[in-house]
């Protein structure tokens, strides 16, 4: 009975396990604690100078490789801004467009559109035609983009259908699409858009340049003539096969590409 009581008293003095599931160690000998404390004092952290030198070396090596670098100012400037509910009437008018200003802008836009329709609009430092093309009948950007996209889709589907037909003629048991041929077909419809975007980018660069005085800007040529006519809308055979696949035992397993 004495032995059981001693075990019970010892177990009651034990500390509970930690939440992570690992047992908690109790130091009963103060010498071990002193040695541990001295060891922690003797350990010296890494020198910040050495760390900064490593960072400088790394930055210099990366800058030498790239030739260009981006740096940020060490000090940050913070400015307090009033909430819009604390603005005065004058500050509100200076910060947001008012109804009369919107009316003036609308009249100016309509005037520029009328001049553009008569081919009398001239661009200058304070006026530009950019963004108004889609509102004119001659520009027709929206319609041309819609037609070009539709033509590109049908051209890609026709090319896929042609490759499926070739695979069936050769009685292949597999189908690997020729992505290069599909890319070339799609590129024919993207080329006018790429040329128009590059032309618009060059005009923007000229407008932003301080050396371009006086400001003279020419309009990019429209690509309506270079756009091929819309293809006849038809349902490719590959789509028809996708709707009713051939499940006969001797049929070749073809994998149609998703449009």
CA distance 145 to 230: 12
CA-to-CA dists, residue 55 to 46, 73, 111, 118, 190, angstroms: 14, 17, 59, 63, 46
What was the pLDDT predicted at 160? 93
Q: Please classify residue 142 by burial: count the beta carbons closer than 10 Å to its beta carbon, then call 0-12 exposed, 13-18 middle and 19+ buried.
A: exposed
What was the pLDDT predicted at 259? 40
Q: What is the DSSP letter of 84?
A: G
* 124 φ/ψ angles, rounded to the nearest 5 degrees: -150, -170
Q: From first to last of the 259 residues of the chain, give the pLDDT tens digit.
A: 444 555 444 444 444 444 444 444 444 444 544 554 555 455 555 555 555 555 555 555 555 555 677 888 888 888 898 898 999 999 999 999 999 999 998 998 888 888 877 878 787 777 777 777 766 665 555 677 788 889 999 999 999 999 999 989 988 888 888 999 999 999 888 888 888 888 888 887 877 775 555 545 555 655 444 444 444 444 444 444 444 444 444 444 444 444 4
Per the rule left: phi > 0, alpha: psi between -120 and 50, beta: everything else, 22 is beta
- b vs e for 95-118, b when ≥16 Cβ sit within 10 Å of the residue's Cβ? eeeeeeeeeeeeeeeeebeeebee
What was the pLDDT predicted at 158? 93
């Amino acid at each position: 009975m004495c032995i059981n009581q001693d075990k019970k008293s010892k177990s009651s003095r034990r500390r509970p396990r930690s939440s992570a599931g690992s047992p908690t160690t109790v130091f009963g000998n103060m010498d071990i604690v002193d040695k541990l404390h001295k060891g922690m004092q003797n350990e010296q952290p890494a020198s910040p100078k050495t760390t900064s030198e490593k960072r400088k070396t790394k930055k210099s090596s990366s800058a030498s490789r790239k030739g260009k670098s981006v740096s940020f100012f060490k000090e940050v400037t913070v400015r307090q801004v009033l909430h819009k509910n604390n603005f005065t009437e004058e500050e509100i008018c200076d910060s947001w467009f008012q109804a009369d200003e919107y009316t003036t802008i609308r009249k100016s836009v309509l005037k520029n559109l009328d001049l553009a329709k008569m081919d009398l609009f001239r661009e200058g430092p304070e006026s530009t035609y950019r963004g108004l093309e889609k509102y004119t009948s001659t520009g027709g950007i929206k319609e041309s983009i819609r037609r070009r996209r539709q033509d590109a889709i049908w051209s890609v589907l026709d090319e896929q259908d042609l490759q499926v037909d070739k695979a069936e003629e050769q009685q292949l048991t597999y189908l690997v699409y020729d992505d290069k041929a599909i890319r070339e077909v799609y590129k024919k419809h993207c080329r006018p858009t790429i040329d128009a975007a590059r032309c618009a980018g060059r005009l923007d660069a000229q407008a932003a340049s301080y050396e371009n005085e006086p400001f003279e800007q020419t309009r990019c040529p429209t690509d309506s003539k270079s756009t091929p006519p819309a293809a006849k809308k038809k349902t490719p055979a590959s789509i028809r096969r996708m709707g009713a696949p051939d499940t006969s035992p001797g049929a070749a397993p073809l994998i149609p590409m998703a449009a």
